[in-house]
Amino acid sequence: MILFVRHLVFHDFWLKLFSLVLALLIWLTVKVAIRTEVSPETALANTILPEQTFSSVPVLVVFAAPDARTVRINPTEVQITVRADPRLLQQLHARDLRAQVDLTGIQGARGLRKEIEVTLPPGVTKVKVIPPDVEVNVPLPR
């Protein structure tokens, strides 16, 4: 039995040790990447691609109630900063960006804060939205 265990551990010892070290390095790399939430694509984009800011992008309201006209949001326009290939940025206009607030299922609320959802064309990455959320005032149903 002792010979079996000794053979199991020491046969190809350096290959087993190398495999263990390599597995630990891969595990550590994945753990750090998950914790910092940085993909190689994002890291590359952050260093190379230029940014452009679009002001006065209107915020659309998605609402299921029949009297959606009475819903008020503040502010009604946002500033969106995006990052993309320089040629793509030259062709990009504010109308290509979509900022919306989903109020489906909300009956009545005053001072409710909802996050703005941004939809972008392919190849364009959102950097930031100012402000990131809007104040919503929905009158109570009658």
Instruction: Tell whether 75 and 126 lie within a shared domain.
Output: yes
Instruction: Tell whether 129 and 101 lie within a shared domain.
Output: yes
Give the DSSP letter of residue 76. S
**Rounded to an integer, what distance in angstroms lies between the CA atom of residue 16 and that of residue 32?**
24
pLDDT tens digits, 93-130:
888 899 998 877 776 667 788 889 998 988 888 888 98
pLDDT tens digits, 83-103:
888 888 888 888 889 999 887
pLDDT tens digits, 61-86:
887 666 555 778 888 899 999 988 88
Instruction: Tell whether 28 and 89 lie within a shared domain.
Output: no
Q: Which residue has the tokens 């002001």?
A: 55
Instruction: Tell whether 28 and 63 lie within a shared domain.
Output: no
Predicted TM-score (pTM) of this structure: 0.59
Count how many domains the chain has: 2
What domain range is 57 assigned to?
A: 50-138
Q: Is residue 42 part of a domain?
A: no
Instruction: Tell whether 69 and 8 lie within a shared domain.
Output: no
**Rounded to an integer, what distance in angstroms lies between the CA atom of residue 59 and that of residue 38?**
29
Q: Is residue 43 part of a domain?
A: no
